[in-house]
């Protein structure tokens, strides 16, 4: 019985996979959910940021030893964006558990992005955006996507 139960858990864990978006697939989802031009930020900048933050992987979760963990396709920090049970709840700007940012359906992650980007730091909250996208021609991130 224990062997069957262990096998069942193993099979369940094998089936849990991240969704890794294709560039154009992500651009279409983002456009549908209102990110194109949101807070004055182009769709290409959003896709560029996600590419450099997570390689478009919804399940990416990183911890840098002693620092807050970052979650999901936009790599939101548990320090300010979501509740992982480790940081003070009053800093949960997006009002959601961090696990919601790891879902294949990125609706909650986009909702959080819309909240976070309204902060004074705007897109600068994402260091990958400032390094790779901010002053660059990012048109290639949505090229031939039909968006």
Distance separating alpha carbons of residues 27 and 16, to the nearest angstrom: 24
| Residue found under tokens 């920090």 | 77
pLDDT digits (tens, 9 = 90+) for 90-139: 678 999 999 999 999 999 999 999 999 998 889 999 999 999 999 999 99
pLDDT at 49: 98
List the strands of the sheet with 76-77, edge to edge: 61-62, 70-71, 76-77
CB 136 within 8 A of CB 58: no
Instruction: Flag whether 104 is in a domain.
Output: yes
User: Which pairs count as long-range contacts for 90-93, CB under 8 Å and 24+ apart, including other chains?
Assistant: 93/119
Rounded CA-CA distance 127/105 in Å is 24
Q: Look up the CATH number of the domain holding residue 69.
A: 1.10.530.10
Q: Examine residue 5 and state whether it is found in any structural domain, yes or no.
A: no
Q: What is the pTM of this model?
A: 0.85
Distance of CA 20 to the CA centre of its chain: 11
Rg over alpha carbons for the chain, rounded to the nearest Å, is 17
Domain span including residue 91 = 18-141
Asked whether residue 12 is domain-assigned, the answer is no
Between strands 61-62 and 70-71, the pairing is antiparallel
Range with the poorest average pLDDT among 2-11, 18-27, 71-80, 88-97: 2-11
Per the structure, the count of domains in the chain is 1
DSSP state of 139: G
């Amino acid at each position: 019985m224990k062997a069957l139960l262990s096998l069942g858990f193993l099979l369940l864990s094998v089936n849990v996979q991240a969704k890794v978006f294709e560039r154009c697939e992500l651009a279409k989802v983002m456009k549908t959910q209102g990110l194109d031009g949101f807070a004055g930020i182009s769709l290409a900048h959003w896709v560029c940021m996600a590419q450099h933050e997570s390689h478009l992987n919804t399940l990416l979760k990183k911890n840098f030893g002693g620092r807050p963990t970052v979650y999901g396709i936009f790599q939101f920090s548990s320090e300010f964006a979501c509740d992982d049970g480790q940081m003070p709840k009053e800093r949960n700007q997006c009002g959601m558990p961090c696990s919601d940012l790891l879902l294949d359906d990125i609706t909650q992650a986009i909702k959080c992005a819309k909240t976070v980007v309204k902060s004074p730091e705007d897109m600068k909250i994402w260091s990958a955006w400032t390094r790779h996208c901010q002053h660059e021609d990012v048109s290639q991130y949505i090229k031939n996507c039909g968006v």
